[in-house]
């Protein structure tokens, strides 16, 4: 089941801020599905253009990867500042 996750990209990694209380807080994103027979690195999404911005992701979380990841929305500077303030990241 896909979830909507909100986070901020830092050093090319998606740092989850919502929902909270997950065992992992930093994720790499991949377009591959969990059941694919290829390693997740083959479909890894490059997040460099989103550096220091809030983004919303749809995908399936499995340990340090979000599979079938797609970027649902991106935050402009005002939204990113609000996300940082609300979630104290």
What does the pLDDT read at residue 25?
87
- Angstrom CA distances, 74 to 1, 30, 38, 66, 79, stand at 22, 17, 28, 17, 9
- Angstrom CA distances, 52 to 42, 62, 78, stand at 24, 23, 12
CA-to-CA distance for 33 and 86, rounded, in angstroms? 32
Return the closest-CA partner of residue 86 out of 7, 22, 9: 7
pLDDT digits (tens, 9 = 90+) for 19-55: 877 767 899 999 999 999 999 999 999 999 999 999 9
Residues 63-87, mean pLDDT to the nearest whole number: 93
What domain range is 57 assigned to?
A: 3-87
Model's pTM, two decimal places?
0.87
The number of distinct structural domains making up the chain is 1
């Amino acid at each position: 089941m896909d979830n909507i996750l909100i986070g901020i990209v830092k050093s090319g990694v998606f740092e989850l801020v919502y929902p909270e209380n997950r065992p992992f807080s930093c994720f790499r994103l991949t377009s591959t599905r969990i059941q694919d027979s290829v390693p997740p690195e083959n479909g890894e999404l490059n997040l460099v253009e989103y550096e220091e911005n809030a983004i919303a992701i749809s995908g399936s979380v499995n340990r340090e990867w979000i599979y079938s990841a797609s970027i649902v929305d991106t935050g402009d500077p005002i939204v990113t500042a609000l996300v940082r303030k609300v979630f104290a990241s």
